Amino acid sequence: MRKPPKKTGKGPRRARSAKKSSSAKTVEAFPGERLRVVFTAEQIGKRVDELAEQVNRDFKGRTVHAIGVLENCLLFMPDLVRRLKVPVICHFLKIETSDGLSGNVAVREVVYTPRIDVTGKDVLVIDAILQSGVTLDHLLHMMMGQGPSSIRTAMLVQKVDDLKVDLATDYVGFKTTEKFLVGYGLGFQERYRNLPYIATPT
């Protein structure tokens, strides 16, 4: 596999870290449901602008095959690709896991649908959140086996305490130690995805 696009200009900006504060803004997301805002809509918009600048620089002269991981990429991916000034082809895939037994050994099957051909393509895998990294690492290895020209990842939020694999990330908006997040595509029981900010229950 050929190397990823060569970076030019200034190095990537560091991901912003969330800091807990007693003065953090709390909002009533829905009647009777209060949340503490971790990343505001304004902070998210600014970071998406900055991430798009990096992608535009690194993929200059190339066509980006943006692959969004459903459903968390619901808001992050559209906001990011709208800011790109290079040609973009959008794809979407869904990760499904199932647990079972092989003899007396517990096994987990991971299925990615639909199958996306990335042979010879410049790939950008987009997800709103990076937690353990296990399924993403599996996905990247599977794609690398097809021989893409390059493959990179864009994550809006990384949970630094939850990472379980040695996984290099290319574009990260924010890093946080918060355990439970909703909003801006992130849901709980399929709710909260429409919120323009990222928050945690109070």
pLDDT greater than 50 at residue 47:
yes
158 Cβ contact list (under 8 Å, min separation 6): 15, 129, 130, 169, 172, 174, 175, 176
What is the C-alpha to C-alpha distance for residues 171 and 5, in angstroms, rounded to an integer? 14
pLDDT at 16: 74
Structure tokens belonging to residue 77? 């991916």
Structure tokens belonging to residue 157? 């939020």
Nearest to 146 by CA among 113, 170, 123: 123
127 Cβ contact list (under 8 Å, min separation 6): 68, 69, 72, 73, 76, 136, 153, 154, 155, 156
pLDDT digits (tens, 9 = 90+) for 71-80: 999 999 999 9
For the 41-174 domain, the top CATH level (class) is: alpha beta
pLDDT digits (tens, 9 = 90+) for 102-137: 777 777 777 889 999 999 999 999 999 999 998 899
- Global pTM value: 0.85
Instruction: Domain ranges for the chain, please list them.
Output: 41-174
pLDDT digits (tens, 9 = 90+) for 83-94: 999 999 999 999
What is the C-alpha to C-alpha distance for residues 180 and 131, in angstroms, rounded to an integer? 11
